[in-house]
C-alpha cells in the first residue's frame, strides 16, 4: 500500500559520490539469486515460473470447489478472458446454473437461460440508505422484460461463441441453435438462429403501438419500449405474451430498447436494425507534445439487408464529457448515469494527461532529523515481510520501495541500500520457481491463460480475483529498482518476469503475448477495472479499491518509462487516464450526475466504496467503517496518486461527509485519511500528524506519510491547467505560485517544456528537477485544454424541453373537468412519462420544501389529499406535513418555469388546482391563478426531476394519474412482525412493531430453490375485508446476508379471498441477490414478478401470507422485523385494496 515511487534528488543537490556508491553496491549484488530454480520451470530471463501446479495449490473452480474450464465453443480459442462484465457466461460459478448470471451490458442487462436470452432495461434504482445511516447502496435491479429465443429451444447450457473489446456473443444449442451478440453502450441485441421460428416472450402483457402485422414492431413491456425487427417480408404473429416469426426464411432478427415510444424514434432505430455489429475495437495514442490521450472506439458492422452499415453507440458519461463527437438527443438512464447515443460507428475521446511522478520532490517543510529517524525505523527493522501471500507481500514491497527515494533525498545511503536489498531479494525469490517453494512462486495455468502466485489470497487462485491489485505492487517495486539500476530490468535479467505479470492483467493484445487475453482486468468501454474473475453475482461484476487499480496503472506506466518501453508506458497512460475519469464519475460522483438522488439524500454518500455492474455500494468487502469505505479508494499513496487531488473542493466534501457518517473524527487508517485530506487541507493534516498518536496502516510508514503531507503543505494543490511534454511530471499551485516538477527516466539529460512556456533544462539522467514561479498571466493558455466546449452537465440545454412537447396534442384540452374525488382519501399522483410520483423532497415538513418526482415507495410525502374549494378546484395537501401544493412567488407568479413547493394553505389561487381529463385515466393539473400545468422539468425521467408550472401543450410530462390509496386511516400496509422461524409462523400486522428485530432465514445449502419456497419463513394475517383497486402488490423487505457470498432471498405473496384456507392467488417474485456486506438491503417488487396464478378478487374476511426463503447460496440471511415508524427500514407489504 505504500507509495511506489522513486526519485533521485534534483540536480542542485545531486552528490557526485552517491552515484558511484550506488553503482558499486548494485553490481556486487544484482545477480544474487536466493533460491535454486526447479528443473522443469519455464525460464524468463534470470527468473522462472512453473507450468506444473505446486503441491496443494488450487486453480479456478466453482462455488463448490470443483475445478472448472472455460465454457466456450470451438470458435473461441486461446487465452480465455476473465474479470469482465460478461464473464459469468464463460465461467460456471454455480453448479446449478450452466447459463450465466446477470450481465450488465448497459443500457440493457441480459441473462442467458435455457430458452434464450432474458433482456431488461431497469430505469428505477432500488435504493437502501442503510442503517446506520452511512451504510447504503443503489442497484438498477434486473427484472426481465423479454426472452429472446426460438420455438423449441431448450439448451443444456450457454457458451461464449465470440467476443471483442466490448461485445460478446452467446451460443445455445438444443432444439435449434441461437447466437446473440450484445455489448456495452449498445441498445441492440443481434440474433441469428437455426431450427424453429424466432420466438420473443414478454414477461408481462405487451402493448403493440406500431407495426402490428408487419416485420417490425414497437412494443411496451413493464413500461419499457422495444423495437423488434425481422427481415423484410416477414411478419410477427402475436399470441398472448408471445411473438413468433419464421423470418421469411432468413436466420436473423434484432431487438432494441428504445428511449421512448414515438414512431419517429422507432423509425430511427429501424433504419439501423439490420447493421449487425460483428466487432468492436478501441485504439489509443498519446500525444506527448500536448499531453493528450486520444482514444477511438469503433464498431464493425455487416448489413443483413439494404445498404446501411451505420449503427448507434451509447457514450457513457466519462466518454461524453471528453468528446466533441456529435450526439443525438436520445439517452438512457443507467447505473453509470445517462448513456447518450451517437449515430455512427465510431467516436473519439480526448483526455488531458496530467502526469505522474515516481515520488514527491524534496520540497516539504519537514524536520529532516525527524524524517530520517522515521526512515531508519523501517530500513533497519528486524523483519520487513509478514504475510507470505501475493497481496501482503506486495504491500510490504511497496511499503519499502516508497522509502528508497526519501532515503536518497536525505542522503541516507545505508538506509537506501538496505531498502533496495530487501526489495530486490524478495522480488527475486518470487521471480524464481523452486521445488517445494514456500517463499513464493508463480504458476502459469494454460487452461485459463493466467499466472497465479502461490501462496494466493482473496481468491486470486480459485476466482482469479484482484490480479491487478496483487501484481501491481510487484511491478511498482520493480519500477523503482529499474530507475536505480536499468540493468536489473533488462528482459535477459529480471524484466521478463515483470512483463509476465503485466501481461497477465493488462496484455495489450494476444499478438503481443498469446499466453494471455487482452486487458484482462480493464474494461475498455467502462473505463475502469473489474475485480472478480467470474462475475458470478446477481448485480454483475464489482470493483472495490479503485485506487489499487490506479496503482497498477501507474506501475505499468513507470515500468515502461523507466525501461524505455514506450508501448507499455502508453498503455499505462491509457488505463490511468480513463480510469481517473471513471473514478471521478462512478466512484466519486464529482458532478452529481451519476448517483440517484435518493442515494445522495442529505449528502451522506458523496462516494461509494464499491462499484457494481448495476449500481454502487457505500460499503466494502471487509468493513462497514466509513474510514475504510472511503480509504479503500485512497490507498496506497504513491506518485501516481495525484489524480485524487484534481478537485480540492471535492476532497474536502468527501472528507467532511466521512466525518459526518462517523459522527466525529477518524478512528482508523489515520495516515491514509490524512494523506488524502492533505490534497484539500494539508496544514490540518500536518497538525494531526504532529499531535495525534497513530499506528501506520500495514502498507504505510510514518516516514512516507510525514514526507507526503509536508510536501503537499508546501507545494499546494494539483494544477491541472498546465501540462508538460513528458509523462512523468506534475504541477502544483499554492496561492498563485506554481511549482513545476519533472522526472527524467532516461539515461541522458532531458529538457521538459510546460504548456505555459516554463522549461526545466537539462535534467540529469534518472533525476528529478523542480522550479517555482508565479502564475503566468491569463494569455498563457494550455496547449491542449480539456474539451470544455462540451459542458460537464450538458442538461443546461434540455434533451426534451417542455416548451416543445414530448408527445404534443394538436388541440390542448380546455377548461376544468368535473372530477369527483374522495376528500377523506389520499392519492398517489403519478407522472405519465416517467411512472414516478409527486413527492416532497426528503420528507421535509418545512415551509418551502421542494416538490419533485420520485420512485413511489409508499411514503406519506408521496400521498396527497384533494379537497374541493368550489368551481371544480381543489386544495391539494401532502399527507406527511398537511401543507398545500403551492406555486412559489404567490398569485403574481404566472410565468413558465415557476417552481412548485409546499406551503401552509392560505386560500390563495396559487394554491388551488383543477383537473383536466386528457383521457386514458390521466389529468392535467392546472393552477387557478396562472392557467398553467404541473410539469416535470425537461421531461426528466430521473428521481429528483423537478416540478414547476408550464403552459399546457399536451406533453406526457404534464399528465398525471391519481391512484386512491386509502381513506386516511391506514389499513393496507402490513408490517412484518418478528417471531417466525423454520416451521414456526410469524405475523403480519396492520400496525408497526414495537421495536426492530430480525428473523433468521435458513441457508439454501448450496441448492437452487428459485421459485420453490423451501425452509421458508411464513408470516400471515387474517380477517381482512377490502375492495380490489386494480393496482399491484408492493412490498419492501429489508434483508441481510452479512458476509455470505452468493445468497439470493426470494418472496412469495399469497391471497386467500374468503379465508377458507385455500390460497386463490399467488405471486412469486424474482430472488434478490444480496451482497456480502453487513447491513440491510431493500428487496422490493421492483425485482420483478417471476410468476403468478389466480385472478384478482375482493377480500372478504380474507387472509394474506408472505413466504421468505433463500433461493440460492450457502449462507443464512435475516429479515428485519417489528421496526417502529421512528426506526424506519420497516419490512412491509402494501395491498392493492381499498
With vertex at residue 701, the alpha carbon angle to CA 696 and CA 702, rounded to the nearest 5 degrees, is 85
Which residues, listed in sequence order, are joined to residue 1121 by a DSSP beta bridge?
997
Q: Which helix (H) or strand (E) holds 652?
A: helix 648-662
User: Would residue 1082 count as lying in a domain?
Assistant: yes
Whether 411 is in a domain gets the answer: no
Q: What is the pLDDT of residue 35?
A: 40
952 and 1039 in one domain? no
Q: Say yes or no to pLDDT of 959 above 90.
A: yes
Average pLDDT over residues 770-785: 47
Q: Is the peptide bond before 107 cis (omega within 30 degrees of 0)?
A: yes
* CA atoms of 80 and 69, how far apart (whole Å): 10
Count of alpha carbons within 13 angstroms of residue 601, beta-carbon side: 19
Last residue of a domain, one of 944, 966, 988: 966
Q: Which domain holds residue 840?
A: 826-966
pLDDT score, position 972 = 84
Last residue of a domain, one of 966, 984, 1008: 966
Per residue in 694-733, pLDDT (tens digit) is 999 999 999 999 999 999 999 999 999 999 999 999 999 9
Instruction: Please report, rounded to a whole number, the percentage of residues in the chain having pLDDT higher than 90.
Output: 72
Cα dihedral 316, 320, 326, 327 sign: positive
CB 471 within 8 A of CB 505: yes
In this prediction, residue 17 carries a pLDDT of: 21
Across 355-364, average pLDDT: 98
- Determine which of 167-176, 793-802, 879-888 has the lowest per-residue pLDDT on average: 793-802
1020 forms beta bridges with 987, 1105
CA distance 51 to 59: 12
Q: Identify the DSSP state of 806.
A: S
User: Above 90 in pLDDT, residue 970?
Assistant: no
According to the per-residue pLDDT averaged within each range, which of 13-27, 616-630, 696-710, 1071-1085 is highest? Answer: 696-710
Q: Which residues on neighbouring strands pair with residue 717, listed in sequence order?
A: 733
Q: Is the pLDDT of residue 94 over 80?
A: yes
Of the three residues 966, 990, 1024, the one that is the final residue of a domain is: 966
> What was the pLDDT predicted at 130?
59
1013 & 1089 share domain: yes
* Cis? peptide before 333, omega within 30° of 0: no
Residue 746, judged by CB atoms within 10 A of its CB (0-12, 13-18, 19+), counts as: middle
List the Cα angle 553/558/563 in 5-degree steps.
135
**Confidence bin at 217 (pLDDT 50/70/90):** very high
Closest by Cα among 313, 335, 357, 294 to 578: 294
Q: What is the pLDDT of residues 580-593, one digit of tens each?
A: 999 999 999 999 99
Q: Is the pLDDT of residue 29 over 50?
A: no
Same domain, 953 and 1028: no
pLDDT at position 507 is 98
The answer on 848 and 989 residing in a single domain is no
The yes-or-no verdict on residue 985 having pLDDT over 60 is yes
**Residue 315 located in a structural domain:** no
Q: What is the DSSP letter of 316?
A: P
Same domain assignment for residues 1115 and 1014: yes
* Cβ atoms < 10 Å from Cβ of 1100: 12
Please work out, in degrees rounded to the nearest 5, the angle formed at the alpha carbon of residue 604 by the alpha carbons of 602 and 607.
130
Let me know: does 3 contact 403? Beta carbons within 8 Å: no
Grid coordinates standing for 1135? 395491498
Concatenating the DSSP letter of every residue in 179-217 gives EEEEETT--EEEEEEEES-EEEEESS--EEEE-TTSSEE
980 and 1032 together in one domain: yes
pLDDT value at 600 more than 50: yes
- CATH code assigned at 866: 2.80.10.50
d(CA 244, CA 179): 17
Tell me if residue 1056 falls in helix, strand or coil: strand
pLDDT of residue 984: 74
Q: pLDDT digit string (tens) for 515-565?
A: 999 999 999 999 999 999 999 999 999 999 999 999 999 999 999 999 999
Alpha-carbon gap, residue 197 to 237, rounded angstroms: 11
Grid cell locating 210: 406500431
Phi first, then psi: what are they for 162, rounded to 5°? Answer: 170, 165
Q: 973 forms bridges with which residues in the sheet?
A: 1134
* Residue 606 predicted with pLDDT over 80: yes
Q: Does 862 fall in a domain?
A: yes
pLDDT class for 406, splitting at 50, 70, 90? very high
Closest CA to 359 of 6, 705, 49, 676: 6
More confident residue, 1136 or 1025: 1136
Distance CA 92, CA 793 (A): 41
Residue 1064 lies in a domain: yes
Which carries the bigger pLDDT value, residue 32 or residue 472?
472
Residue indicated by cell numbers 454455480: 94
pLDDT band with cut points at 50, 70 and 90 for residue 826: confident
Q: How far apart are CA 421 and CA 423, in angstroms?
A: 6
- The predicted structure's pLDDT at residue 805: 29
Alpha carbon distance 579, 894 (integer Å): 47
Rounded CA separation 783/340 (Å): 29
Using alpha carbons, list the distances in angstroms from residue 305 to 148, 273, 343, 841.
21, 9, 19, 51
Specify if 396 maps to a domain: no
Average pLDDT over residues 560-586: 98
Helix (H) or strand (E) holding 557: helix 546-563
Tell me, yes or no, whether 1017 and 1121 share the same domain: yes
Looking at 267-281, 983-997, 1118-1132, which range is the least confident one?
983-997
Q: Are residues 935 and 991 in the same domain?
A: no
Question: In whole angstroms, what is the distance from residue 1137 CA to residue 106 CA?
Answer: 36
Burial class (CB in 10 A: 0-12, 13-18, 19+), 879: middle
Encode pLDDT of 893-917 as tens digits. Answer: 898 989 999 988 989 999 999 999 9
| Higher per-residue confidence, 262 vs 1127 | 262
Looking from the CA of 934 toward its CB, the CA atoms found within 13 Å total 34
The pLDDT of residue 971 is 62
CA distance 62 to 533: 11
Give the list of residues 6+ apart from residue 653 with CB closer than 8 angstroms, or none. 603, 606
Residue 899 DSSP code:
B
For 52, half-sphere exposure in the C-beta direction (CA atoms, 13 angstrom radius) is 12
CB 883 within 8 A of CB 877: yes
Most confident range (mean pLDDT) of 374-378, 817-821, 880-884, 1126-1130 is 374-378
Clarify whether residues 948 and 981 are in a common domain: no
pLDDT classification of 437: cutoffs 50, 70, 90: confident
pLDDT digits (tens, 9 = 90+) for 1085-1096: 878 888 889 999
Stretch 726-753: mean pLDDT: 97
Of 769 and 1031, more confident: 769
pLDDT in tens, 390-400: 999 999 999 99
Burial class from Cβ neighbours inside 10 Å (0-12, 13-18, 19+) for residue 716 reads buried
DSSP state of 717: E
Q: Round to whole Å and give the CA distance between 631 and 628.
A: 5
**What is the arithmetic mean of pLDDT over 823-836?**
87
CA distances for 1117 relative to 75, 1001, 1050, angstroms? 41, 5, 11
Q: In sequence order, which residues have a C-beta less than 8 Å from that of residue 480 and are 6 or more positions away?
A: 4, 5, 6, 358, 401, 404, 405, 423
Confidence grade of residue 854 (pLDDT, cut at 50, 70, 90): confident
Which residues are marked as active site?
466, 544, 548
Mean pLDDT in the chain?
A: 89
Residues 1121 and 982 in one domain: yes
> Has residue 445 been placed in a domain?
no
Distance between CA 510 and CA 882 in Å, rounded? 66
- Asked whether residue 961 falls in the same domain as residue 977, the answer is no
Q: Is 1059 left (phi over 0), alpha (psi -120 to 50) or beta?
A: left
Cα-to-chain-centroid distance, residue 443: 32
Contact predicate 229/274, CB 8 Å: yes
| Range with lowest mean pLDDT among 591-605, 797-811, 842-856 | 797-811
How sure is the predictor about 20, in pLDDT bands with cuts at 50, 70 and 90?
very low
| Whole-number Å distance between alpha carbons of 853 and 836 | 6
Number of folded domains in the chain? 2
DSSP structure class, residue 850:
B
Q: Look at residue 383 and tell me whether its pLDDT is greater than 80.
A: yes
The verdict on 1030 and 1005 lying in the same domain is: yes
Average pLDDT over residues 355-362: 98
Q: Which tens digit of pLDDT belongs to each residue from 366-382?
A: 999 999 999 999 999 99
| The most confident of 269-278, 1067-1076, 1119-1128, by mean pLDDT | 269-278
Tell which residue, 576, 591, 590, 508, has the closest CA to residue 546: 576
| pLDDT tops 90 at residue 1031 | no
Query: What is the grid cell recorded at 649?
Result: 473542493
Q: What is the CATH number of the domain that holds 1028?
A: 2.60.120
Position 27 scores a pLDDT of 32
- Summarize pLDDT for 294-341 with one digit per residue, the tens: 999 999 999 999 999 999 999 999 999 999 999 999 999 999 999 999
| Cα–Cα distance, 818 to 231 (Å, whole number) | 50
**Does residue 453 contact residue 54 with C-beta atoms inside 8 Å?**
no
Instruction: Spell 78-112 as b/e; 16+ CB within 10 A means b.
Output: ebbbbbbbbbbbbbbbbeebebbbbbbbbbbbbbb
Percent residues over pLDDT 70 in the chain: 91
* pTM, to two decimals: 0.72
Q: Does 792 score more than 60 pLDDT? A: no
| Mean pLDDT for the stretch of residues 1109-1126 | 89
Q: Is residue 1001 part of a domain?
A: yes
User: Does 791 have pLDDT greater than 70?
Assistant: no
Q: What is the 3-state secondary structure (H, E, C) of 986-1034?
A: EEEECCCCCCCEEEEECCCCCCCCCCCCCCCEEEEEEEEEECECCCCCE
Q: Which three cell numbers stand for residue 229?
A: 425487427
Distance between CA 979 and CA 246 in Å, rounded?
55
Q: Residue 689 is inside which H or E element, if any?
A: helix 670-691
pLDDT at 686: 97
**Which positions ≥6 away from 750 have C-beta within 8 Å?**
726, 742, 744, 762, 763, 765
| pLDDT at 266 exceeding the cut of 80 | yes
Amino acid at each position: 500500500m505504500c507509495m511506489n515511487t522513486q526519485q533521485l534528488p534534483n540536480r542542485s543537490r545531486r552528490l557526485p559520490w552517491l552515484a558511484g556508491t550506488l553503482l558499486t553496491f548494485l553490481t556486487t549484488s544484482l545477480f544474487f539469486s536466493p533460491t535454486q530454480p526447479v528443473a522443469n520451470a519455464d525460464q524468463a530471463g534470470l527468473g522462472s515460473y512453473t507450468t506444473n501446479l505446486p503441491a496443494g495449490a488450487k486453480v479456478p473452480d466453482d462455488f463448490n470447489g470443483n475445478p472448472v474450464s472455460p465454457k466456450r465453443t470451438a470458435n473461441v480459442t486461446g487465452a480465455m478472458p476473465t474479470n469482465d462484465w460478461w464473464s459469468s457466461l464463460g465461467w460456471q460459478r454455480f453448479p446449478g446454473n450452466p447459463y450465466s448470471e446477470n450481465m450488465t451490458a448497459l443500457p440493457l442487462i441480459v441473462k442467458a437461460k435455457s430458452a434464450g436470452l432474458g433482456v431488461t432495461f431497469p430505469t428505477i434504482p432500488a435504493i437502501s440508505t442503510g442503517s446506520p445511516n452511512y451504510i447504503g447502496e443503489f442497484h438498477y435491479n434486473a427484472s426481465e422484460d423479454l426472452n429472446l429465443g426460438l420455438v423449441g429451444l431448450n439448451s443444456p447450457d450457454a457458451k461464449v461463441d465470440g467476443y471483442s473489446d466490448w461485445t460478446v456473443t452467446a451460443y445455445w444449442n438444443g432444439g435449434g441453435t441461437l447466437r446473440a451478440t450484445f455489448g456495452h453502450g449498445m441498445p441492440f441485441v443481434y440474433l441469428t438462429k437455426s431450427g424453429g421460428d424466432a420466438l420473443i416472450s414478454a414477461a408481462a402483457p405487451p402493448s403493440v403501438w406500431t407495426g402490428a402485422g408487419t416485420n417490425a414492431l414497437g412494443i411496451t413491456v413493464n413500461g419499457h419500449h422495444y423495437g423488434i425487427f425481422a427481415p423484410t417480408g416477414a411478419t410477427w404473429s402475436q399470441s398472448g405474451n408471445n411473438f413468433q416469426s419464421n423470418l421469411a426464411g432468413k436466420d436473423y432478427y434484432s431487438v432494441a430498447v428504445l428511449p421512448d415510444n414515438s414512431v419517429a424514434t422507432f423509425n430511427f432505430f429501424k433504419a439501423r436494425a439490420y447493421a449487425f455489429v460483428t466487432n468492436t475495437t478501441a485504439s489509443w495514442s498519446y500525444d506527448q507534445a500536448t499531453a493528450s490521450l486520444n482514444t477511438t472506439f469503433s464498431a464493425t458492422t455487416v448489413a443483413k439487408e439494404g445498404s446501411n452499415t451505420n449503427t448507434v453507440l451509447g457514450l457513457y458519461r466519462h466518454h461524453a464529457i471528453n468528446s466533441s463527437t456529435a450526439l443525438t438527443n436520445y439517452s438512457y438512464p443507467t447505473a453509470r448515469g445517462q448513456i447518450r447515443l451517437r449515430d455512427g460507428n465510431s467516436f473519439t475521446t480526448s483526455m488531458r494527461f496530467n502526469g505522474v511522478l515516481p515520488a514527491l520532490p524534496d520540497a516539504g517543510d519537514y524536520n529532516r532529523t525527524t524524517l530520517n529517524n522515521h526512515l531508519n525505523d523501517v530500513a533497519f527493522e528486524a523483519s520487513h515481510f509478514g504475510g507470505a501471500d501475493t497481496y501482503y507481500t506486495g504491500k510490504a514491497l511497496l511499503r519499502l520501495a516508497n522509502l528508497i527515494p526519501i532515503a536518497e533525498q536525505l542522503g541516507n545511503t545505508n538506509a537506501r541500500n538496505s531498502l533496495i536489498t530487501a526489495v530486490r531479494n524478495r522480488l527475486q525469490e518470487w521471480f524464481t520457481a523452486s521445488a517445494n517453494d514456500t517463499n513464493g512462486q508463480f504458476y502459469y495455468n494454460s487452461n485459463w491463460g493466467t499466472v497465479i502466485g502461490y501462496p494466493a489470497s482473496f481468491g486470486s487462485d480459485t476466482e482469479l480475483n484482484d490480479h491487478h491489485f496483487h501484481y501491481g505492487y510487484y511491478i511498482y517495486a520493480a519500477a523503482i529498482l529499474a530507475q536505480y539500476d536499468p540493468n536489473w530490468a533488462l528482459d535477459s535479467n529480471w524484466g521478463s518476469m515483470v512483463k509476465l505479470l503485466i501481461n497477465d492483467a493488462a496484455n495489450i493484445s494476444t499478438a503481443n503475448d498469446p499466453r494471455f487475453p487482452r486487458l484482462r482486468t480493464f474494461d475498455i468501454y467502462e473505463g475502469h477495472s473489474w475485480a472478480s474473475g467470474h462475475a458470478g453475482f446477481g448485480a454483475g461484476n464489482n470493483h472495490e479499491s479503485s485506487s489499487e487499480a490506479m496503482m497498477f496503472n501507474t506501475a505499468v506506466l513507470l515500468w515502461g518509462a523507466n525501461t524505455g518501453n514506450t508501448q507499455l508506458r502508453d498503455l499505462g497512460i491509457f488505463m490511468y487516464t480513463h480510469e481517473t475519469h471513471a473514478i471521478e464519475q462512478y466512484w466519486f460522483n464529482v458532478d452529481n450526475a451519476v448517483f440517484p438522488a435518493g442515494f445522495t439524500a442529505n449528502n451522506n454518500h458523496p462516494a461509494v466504496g464499491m462499484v457494481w455492474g448495476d449500481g454502487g455500494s457505500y460499503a466494502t468487502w471487509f468493513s462497514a467503517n466509513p474510514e475504510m469505505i472511503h480509504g479503500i479508494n485512497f490507498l496506497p499513496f504513491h506518485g501516481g496518486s495525484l489524480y485524487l487531488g484534481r478537485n480540492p473542493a471535492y476532497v474536502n466534501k468527501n472528507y467532511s461527509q466521512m466525518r459526518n457518517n462517523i459522527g466525529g473524527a477518524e478512528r482508523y487508517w489515520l495516515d491514509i485519511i490524512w494523506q488524502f485530506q492533505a490534497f484539500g487541507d494539508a496544514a490540518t493534516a500536518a497538525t494531526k500528524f504532529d499531535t495525534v498518536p497513530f499506528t501506520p496502516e500495514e502498507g504505510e510508514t510514518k516516514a512516507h506519510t510525514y514526507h507526503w503531507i509536508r510536501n503537499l503543505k508546501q507545494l499546494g494543490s494539483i494544477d491541472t491547467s498546465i501540462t508538460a511534454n513528458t509523462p512523468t511530471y506534475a504541477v502544483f499551485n499554492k496561492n498563485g505560485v506554481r511549482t513545476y516538477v519533472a522526472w527524467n527516466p532516461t539515461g541522458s539529460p532531458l529538457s521538459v517544456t510546460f504548456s505555459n512556456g516554463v522549461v526545466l533544462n537539462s535534467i540529469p539522467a534518472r533525476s528529478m528537477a523542480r522550479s517555482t514561479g508565479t502564475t503566468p498571466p491569463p494569455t498563457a493558455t494550455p496547449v491542449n485544454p480539456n474539451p470544455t466546449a462540451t459542458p460537464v452537465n450538458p442538461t443546461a440545454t434540455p434533451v426534451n424541453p417542455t416548451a416543445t412537447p414530448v408527445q404534443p396534442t394538436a388541440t390542448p384540452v380546455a377548461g376544468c373537468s368535473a372530477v369527483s374525488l374522495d376528500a377523506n382519501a389520499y392519492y398517489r399522483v403519478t407522472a405519465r412519462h416517467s411512472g414516478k410520483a409527486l413527492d416532497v423532497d426528503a420528507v421535509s415538513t418545512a415551509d418551502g420544501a421542494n416538490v419533485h418526482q420520485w420512485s413511489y415507495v409508499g411514503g406519506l410525502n408521496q400521498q396527497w389529499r384533494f379537497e374541493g374549494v368550489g368551481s371544480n378546484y381543489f386544495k391539494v395537501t401532502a399527507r406527511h406535513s398537511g401543507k398545500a401544493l403551492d406555486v412559489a412567488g404567490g398569485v403574481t407568479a404566472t410565468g413558465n418555469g415557476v417552481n412548485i413547493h409546499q406551503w401552509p394553505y392560505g386560500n390563495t389561487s396559487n394554491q388551488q388546482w383543477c383537473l383536466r381529463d386528457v383521457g386514458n385515466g390521466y389529468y392535467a393539473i392546472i393552477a387557478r391563478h396562472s392557467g398553467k400545468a404541473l410539469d416535470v422539468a425537461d421531461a426528466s425521467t430521473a428521481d429528483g426531476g423537478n416540478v414547476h408550472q408550464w403552459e399546457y401543450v399536451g406533453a406526457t410530462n404534464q399528465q398525471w394519474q391519481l391512484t386512491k390509496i386509502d381513506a386516511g386511516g391506514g389499513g393496507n400496509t402490513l408490517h412484518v412482525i418478528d417471531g417466525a422461524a423454520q416451521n414456526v409462523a410469524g405475523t403480519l400486522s396492520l400496525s408497526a412493531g414495537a421495536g426492530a428485530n430480525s428473523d433468521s432465514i435458513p441457508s439454501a445449502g448450496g441448492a437452487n430453490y428459485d421459485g420453490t419456497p423451501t425452509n421458508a419463513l411464513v408470516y400471515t394475517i387474517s380477517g381482512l375485508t377490502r375492495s380490489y383497486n386494480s393496482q399491484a402488490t408492493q412490498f419492501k423487505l429489508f434483508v441481510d446476508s452479512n458476509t455470505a457470498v452468493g445468497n439470493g432471498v426470494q418472496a412469495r405473496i399469497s391471497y386467500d379471498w374468503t379465508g377458507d384456507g385455500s390460497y386463490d392467488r399467488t405471486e412469486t417474485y424474482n430472488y434478490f441477490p444480496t451482497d456480502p456486506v453487513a447491513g440491510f438491503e431493500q428487496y422490493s417488487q421492483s425485482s420483478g414478478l417471476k410468476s403468478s396464478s389466480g385472478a384478482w378478487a375482493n377480500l372478504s374476511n380474507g387472509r394474506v401470507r408472505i413466504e421468505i426463503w433463500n433461493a440460492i447460496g450457502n449462507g443464512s440471511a435475516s429479515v428485519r422485523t417489528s421496526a417502529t415508524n421512528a426506526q424506519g427500514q420497516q419490512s412491509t407489504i402494501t395491498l392493492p385494496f381499498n
